[in-house]
A and B are shown apart, each in its own frame.
Chain A
Amino acid sequence: MENFSIDQLLYLVATAFFIVGIKRLSKVKTARSGNLLAAVGMALAIAVTLITPGAGIQLDWKVVAVGAIMGTLIGGVMAKKVEMTGMPEMVALFNGFGGLASTMVALSEFWGRNFVVGPSDNVILGNEVWVIAIILSVLVGTVTFTGSLVAMGKLSGKISGNPVILPGRHFIVAALLIGGAAMGVMAGFMQESYDPTAMILGLTACAAVFGVVSVLPIGGADMPVVVSLLNSYSGIAASMAGFVIGNPLLIVAGALVGAAGMILTIIMCKAMNRSLGNVLVGGFGGDTPSGGNSGGADEYTSYKQASPEEAAMILETAESVIIVPGYGMAVAQAQHVVKELAEELEKNGADVRYAIHPVAGRMPGHMNVLLAEADVPYEQLLELERINNDFKTTDVCVIVGANDVVNPSAIEDPQSPIAGMPILNAHESGTSLMIKRSLSAGYAGIKNPLFERENNYMCFGDGKAFLQSVLDELKEV
């Protein structure tokens, strides 16, 4: 660090690649090149590290080769194999791995400096900073890891999406944090009195439990926000690992991701009209209704039902149609049928558009990705603000596997848990067709008065199968 060195300069170039990459990722036209630029920056950073790892550092090539080959193969295969519907889980998992890696870097440094190359040898930033950076990167990295795993479990349905409220959890969380930090301090600064290995592992364990306990009480509907927040954490963990090894590239890249992830998280919270604090406290929403304010099937007394034939008849005469996709479309893999139906309706002379709610699906932009996969023209996808006034003048609104995002109680019932959340005004359209498997509640776990509206028809069935029969009917005519 003291003298001018070419490797540090190349790290600076890599940093510039990351910044330009993120910038370009934020525009549709340049996004792909932005991702590519960031990847080039990463390749450059890895190459520089391999060629000049730093003064007096001798890399063990077997370790490098084994790790790099395994990681590349596993990551590559997972990225190729994953279904578009499984994308949110995959992002959560990759994110968790990043956090875990940062934890391991800190642990390995701690271990190596304490037992292999000598206590304060080669520590660039001074012992106190080094220890604190290690404690923070173990803490944040491990929380990212276990939190992401729980989030992944909730997204994929392996763990119940219901909020799990432990008694006295605020106390537990505080105790874990304080206890973990105390053990970290003992590991770093009181090595004569305490076994540093046991203490640092104790810190890791506390952080691991902390991650699980913090995500469990949060309902499945809020998982996108959690994944986004954890993405921010993994950046912070990488940044802290940068302080551990005294590398400005890690510090900058990690901080960029930490800040960008935080902004994205706040944007997502705003879309649901809730504060980040409100999301993190948890207890909101779940897979199945619970408590007095729930939306079980027996709560609905009068609703109209439509068969595929009836739905086809309604659609046949429609001149304007808006399709509202939701997570149900992703689960049923119905995006291709939706596209075919839209084409058929257009042949009929109807104007077809898609209304995308900012939190439809399990991640922001989830629906866009799925519909893009089915080759739906980009111009037909309209965001909430741009299409919401058009429902009034639309003949038919087809709701495919969405529920909470079209729940009118958000604007009509100030007592509703989702009061104030922006919704798509599907209830204002001439007729709405709600394609859904049952009358069960959505992720927010509340009743949807739209079901009982005069102009709404419930179309029970699997999204894909139902739309396919509607499509067949339309083609016959």
Chain B
Amino acid sequence: MIFLLMLFVFVLAIFAGNELISKVPPTLHTPLMSGANAISGITIVGALMCAQFGNGGGVSESAATILGVCAITFAMINVVGGFMVTDRMLSMFGSKKKKK
């Protein structure tokens, strides 16, 4: 049942995503791609949860730990870098808006 609910959520989110960005000026395509990309870094939440397996101290635990550290690092690069780069791009549009 929970699976079905989540499948509902998944399908509805896809429809929502379709509607959300059907009208975007080309100017914003790159920032939008970059911003959406930063949001896909939401996998950071999953990465953080991987940090639960390292508490034992055995060989398997260390494998899970290394994967966890790497997952958090890469997801964090995606999130932090993604939002910052997007903001840098958009700040340029902003600055000349004020000058108008």
Give chain A's interface residues, CB within 8 Å of chain B. 1, 18-19, 21-23, 25-29, 31-32, 34-36, 38-39, 41-42, 45-46, 49-50, 53-54, 57-64, 66-68, 70-72, 74-76, 78-80, 82, 84, 87-88, 90-91, 94-95, 97-98, 100-102, 104-105, 107-109, 111-112, 115-117, 124-126, 129, 227-228, 231, 234-235, 237-239, 241-264, 267-268, 271, 356, 358, 363-366, 368-369, 372-373, 375-379, 381, 383
Pick the contact of B2: A36, A125, A383 (CB < 8 A): A125
Please, which residues of chain B bring their CB within 8 A of the CB of A72?
Answer: 76, 80
Please, which residues of chain A bring their CB within 8 A of the CB of B54?
Answer: 60, 62-63
Within 8 A of A (CB), among B17-45: 17-18, 20-45
Q: Decide if A38 touches B37 in the complex (CB within 8 Å).
A: no
Given that A63-B51, A259-B13, A264-B32 are contacting pairs, would A90 and B56 also be in contact in the complex, using a CB cutoff of 8 Å? no
Q: How distant is the Cα of A39 from the Cα of B41 in the complex, in angstroms?
A: 11
Please, which residues of chain B bring their CB within 8 A of the CB of A263?
Answer: 17-18, 21-22
CB distance from B45 to the nearest CB of A (A): 5
Q: Decide if A363 touches B33 in the complex (CB within 8 Å).
A: yes
Q: Decide if A383 touches B26 in the complex (CB within 8 Å).
A: yes
Pick the contact of B67: A60, A108, A366 (CB < 8 A): A108
Within 8 A of A (CB), among B36-66: 36-56, 60-61, 63-65
Q: How distant is the Cα of A364 from the Cα of B13 in the complex, in angstroms?
A: 25
Q: Decide if A109 touches B24 in the complex (CB within 8 Å).
A: no
Q: Decide if A75 touches B78 in the complex (CB within 8 Å).
A: yes
Find the B residue at minimum CB distance from A376.
B96
Please, which residues of chain A bring their CB within 8 A of the CB of B53?
Answer: 60, 108, 111-112, 116-117
Given that A22-B35, A25-B28, A25-B32 are contacting pairs, would A104 and B47 also be in contact in the complex, using a CB cutoff of 8 Å? yes
Q: How distant is the Cα of A87 from the Cα of B28 in the complex, in angstroms?
A: 14
Kindly name the residue among B20, B39, B44, B77 whose own CB sees the greatest number of chain A CB atoms within 10 A: B39
Q: Decide if A76 touches B37 in the complex (CB within 8 Å).
A: no
Please, which residues of chain A bring their CB within 8 A of the CB of B69?
Answer: 63, 66-67, 70
Find the A residue at minimum CB distance from B71.
A104
Q: Decide if B36 touches A108 in the complex (CB within 8 Å).
A: no
Given that A94-B81, A365-B29, A376-B96 are contacting pairs, would A64 and B51 also be in contact in the complex, using a CB cutoff of 8 Å? yes
Q: Decide if B42 touches A42 in the complex (CB within 8 Å).
A: yes
CB distance from A407 to the nearest CB of B (A): 20
Q: Decide if A358 touches B87 in the complex (CB within 8 Å).
A: no
Q: Decide if A378 touches B93 in the complex (CB within 8 Å).
A: yes
Q: How distant is the Cα of A360 from the Cα of B69 in the complex, in angstroms?
A: 39
Find the B residue at minimum CB distance from A40.
B83
Q: Decide if B40 touches A116 in the complex (CB within 8 Å).
A: no
Please, which residues of chain A bring their CB within 8 A of the CB of B96?
Answer: 372, 375-378
Q: Decide if A251 touches B9 in the complex (CB within 8 Å).
A: yes
Pick the contact of B43: A68, A98, A375 (CB < 8 A): A98
